[in-house]
Amino acid sequence: MLAVIVFTPTSDYRRSIRGYFFVPARLQAAPIWSIPALPIQKESSSAALPPSTDVVIIRSGITGTSFARTLLGTDGSLEVVMLEARDACSGATARNGGHITPPLYHDYLDLKKKHGAEAAKQIIHLRLSHLDELD
């Protein structure tokens, strides 16, 4: 089971870490494709922390959600909590394009010239191997 916790630090906590880069900005431009927000962004959301869990994942971007998917796919009995300051996948993952869907082999010749044929081939195969994960 995966629970996404919308975590809002207390004012004392905010005061103690003021100035650090990881404190989320209060206002953030919403990507046009996120208006209106999809219901899945709030799925399993809660402001309450569970009394215990097996795994805590901090942030719900590409890495966090991929890790959660891998964990739960390996052992569905794990209790996994994902901490996120806003909605699921609403930070840089939501604003940036091209993380997962770049052209897969458009730059093969450049890669071959820079790294050699074998390395270029490995890079292209790595890119192609991610397609199954998107289904």
Q: How many residues does the chain have?
A: 135
**Lowest-confidence region among 4-18, 26-40, 105-119:** 4-18
92, 65 Cβ separation under 8 angstroms: no
**List of residues 6+ apart from 8 with CB closer than 8 A:** 47, 85
pLDDT in tens, 20-62: 445 555 556 666 666 777 676 676 777 788 889 999 998 888 8
pTM of the model: 0.52
State residue 110's pLDDT score: 92
Nearest-10 crossing angle of helices 108-115, 117-129:
130
**Cα-trace Rg, the chain:** 19
Mean pLDDT over the full length of the chain: 73
